[in-house]
Amino acid sequence: MAWKMDNPLYSLSDEQEQQQILKMWGEERMGGLIHPANNRLPFPLTFLIALIILTAFMLTMPIWGQRPTAAIYQTHVELMNSPEVQKLATAEEKMKYINTEAYNRAPDNALKGQLERHPIDWYDLQNLAPHIIELQKQTKYPLDNFTVLGDKVVLANFEGNFRADGVRERKQPWWDKGYTIDVFYVSYYCLWMFIMIKRLPHFSKKPVTT
């Protein structure tokens, strides 16, 4: 079990130990099976694994797949009792007008994207409106701290930073402690795999059969 640290990218075990392992691999027959070959991790596989780790973090960020917040329907609530909407005959016509107006008034592409992904119908809007109007009267949490679930509005359970007044932010973050844990977890895995693999005989050496 001697460790050799002078060239860790080559091997972490000394020559004598590598030879012992190769001799055992060469002689051993397990139910007639030859020991697995001492081939390296092919470069495309190493590349693919790096790509998977990068993809895992990039693809799962909370900014993707955001839930609708009460804030994105503020314009809808403002417009629903306006004379322009009231004069329209059907629910479909009302919603078509409101959706178009809300989209056009959205100040940035982020909100426009949210509106496209979370359409709402007239009856859900009627149910939501009183809740949103009530929430606009309070100051503890801004509207984007509330999630819309169907026809209900609930305080989101995101655990953001504490504000100066001691209240925790409930807005959907772009990074959270789950990701921080993942960074350490994946790092430990990579370190463990590096040690496991580099403790084996170097891939240029093949099992010695006698």
Partner 1 sequence: MLFKYLSAKNEDIPPGSAAIFFGFSAIFWFVVGTGLGSFNAAKLAFPDFVTGTELFAFGHMRQVHVLAVIVGWISMAFAMTMMYMTPALGNTRMWSEKLGLWTALLWNVGLSSALLSLWIGITSGREYSDFAWPFDLVILLGVIAPLCVNVIMTIAHRRTQGIYITNWFFGACTFMVGIVLLVGNSPEYFHLTGLSEAYLTWWNAHNLLGLWITPVAAAIAYYTIPKLTGNPLYSHRIGHMHFWSIVVFYSTPASHHLMSSPLPEWLKSFASVEGVLILIPAVAFVANILLTMKGKWSMFVENIEIKFSVTGVFLAIPLNMQGGFQQTRSINWFIHGTGWIVAHAHLALLGMSTFLEIAAVYFGLQQMLKRKLYSLALANFHYWFVLIGFCTYWISMTIAGLIQGAGKIYEVPYIDVVIAEHPYMIARWVGGTMVFTGNLVWLYNMWMTARVGTLVPDGRYAHELAYER
107 binds partner 1 (CB under 8 A): no
Among 127, 181, 187, 191, binds partner 1 (CB under 8 A): 181
191 binds partner 1 (CB under 8 A): no
Tell me the C-alpha distance between 178 and 21, whole Å. 40
Among 49, 91, 110, 133, binds partner 1 (CB under 8 A): 49
- Tell me how many degrees the CA angle 48-54-59 measures, rounded to the nearest 5: 115
38 binds partner 1 (CB under 8 A): yes
Q: Determine contact, residues 35/25, Cβ cutoff 8 Å.
A: yes
Please enumerate in sequence order all residues whose Cβ is within 8 A of that of 66, keeping only pairs 6 or more positions apart, or say none.
114, 117, 172
CB of 165 to partner 1, least distance (A): 22
Is 143 buried (19+), middle (13-18) or exposed (0-12) by CB count in 10 A?
Answer: middle
138 binds partner 1 (CB under 8 A): no
Stretch that binds partner 1, among 74-82, 86-94, 96-104, 185-193 (CB under 8 A): 185-193
Strands 29-30 and 33-34: antiparallel
Binding residues (CB under 8 A) for partner 1: these are 24-25, 28-42, 45, 48-49, 52-53, 55-57, 59-60, 62, 64-66, 119, 121, 157-159, 172, 176-179, 181-182, 185-186, 189, 192-193, 196-197, 200, 203
